[in-house]
Amino acid sequence: MSSGVVVGLMSGTSLDGISAAVARFRDAADGRIDVDLLAYHSRPYTTAERTRLSAALGGGTPAEYCRLNFDLGGWLANAAIQVMAEAGVARADIAAIASHGQTIWHEPGHSTWQWGEAAVIAERTGIDVISDFRVRDVAAGGQGAPLVPIADSMLFSSESDWRGLQNLGGIGNITVVPPHGQIEGVRAFDTGPGVAVIDGVARALRPNMAYDVDGHLARAGRPNMQVVKELLAHPYFSMDPPKSTGRELFNSDYVQKLISTSRSLGASDEDIVATAVQLTADSIGDAYRRFIPEPIREVLVSGGGAKNPALFAAIEKSAAPVKVRHFDDVFFDGEAKEAVAFALLGYLHVTKRPGNVPSATGARGTRILGKHTPA
């Protein structure tokens, strides 16, 4: 049985910062993989960094793109160095750094683009880097997303029942996994917005706020169900899986439409944030009813949105009778989950094993994911 220590790096669509995890993987006798989380570090983006990344999602010059790709590589390298220090693991003991980077553009079925120059990370850390995980799946006819299902199955499945694992980053995605780490039968898709719309609305209404802290604004307002219903009529929500989405859809224009429509109906700022929360929760609950025939008894929720009490409570209500729990209650800090998932993809790459789940992405078959940049 092989084992290895891998650093996972993730910058999500929420643009809140870089998640870095050091994880030790061990092949188990039953074909599953055991994981120990050795350290987790969150490196928030500064206002200036977030502004640069956000602007890049809407367009930029080749010079701006080139500079930001290299600068982001430096920020990722710094996060890796910090989390390795916290783990107390020697560089020589680390098999690789697995970096997802930051998605700048994602066009399912055609192309995908992630930033964070791997050569910069390798040069700064002196460790091999595995990066660009999504492109091979897209080249094989897949959506390139979601890629976390392999971890959801191998690391976080139930011993006895079907389980759902819902991530609430900028985009929301659900993985449905059978018991005992079986890959056959795993399905996954993006449910729609996670916190992208909620955070976008909060920042537009309160420019000094990065997000609605503890859901205070949402809990002080009332959602406008007419606006929610109109927004849920978008074709994405009724599209059959496999499917994926991103800020190409749930962007600043989408946020402004929600705000202006709500304003025309007399909504307060608090009402508008509550409407964004309800939209997100109902898109998730509706996805469960439409697209999950499997007998899931519980859903474990992770990601930044899981820390928002208003959103979590709304999902609990919308998803009923399915039980909704925090990922943290069963495993480790849910904030670390996606970084650990990409660390696993790095581990699978260096041990020459596939990392995609074709039933989740729609690819023609399994593929070893990622590109190797030697130290």
Instruction: Please report the pLDDT score of residue 1 as a whole number.
Output: 38
Q: Give the pLDDT mean for 219-245.
A: 95
Is the pLDDT confidence value at 2 over 60?
no
Half-sphere exposure of 204 (CA within 13 A, CB side): 21
Average the pLDDT over 286-306 and give the result.
Answer: 95
pTM for the full predicted model: 0.85
pLDDT band at 107, cuts 50/70/90? confident
Over range 73-87, report the average pLDDT: 98
Token digits for 334? 């849910």
More confident residue, 171 or 246: 171
| pLDDT given for residue 106 in this prediction | 87
Please give the structure tokens belonging to residue 324. 């909704």
| Backbone φ, ψ for residue 244 (5° rounding) | -145, 160
**Chain Cα centroid distance, residue 304:** 9
What domains does the chain contain, in order, with CATH numbers?
3-147+336-373 (3.30.420.40), 149-329 (3.30.420.40)
Per-residue buried b or exposed e for 291-328, using 16+ beta carbons within 10 Å of the residue's own CB:
bbeeebebbbbbbbbbbbebbbbbbbebbeebebeebb
For residue 159, what pLDDT is reported? 86
Mean predicted confidence (pLDDT) in 108-128: 95
pLDDT, mean of residues 42-47: 92
SS3 47: helix
Decide: 118 and 86 in contact? Cβ < 8 Å: no
Q: Give pLDDT tens digits for 126-142.
A: 999 999 999 999 999 99
Amino acid letter at 250?
A: F
Query: What is the per-residue pLDDT for 3?
Result: 65
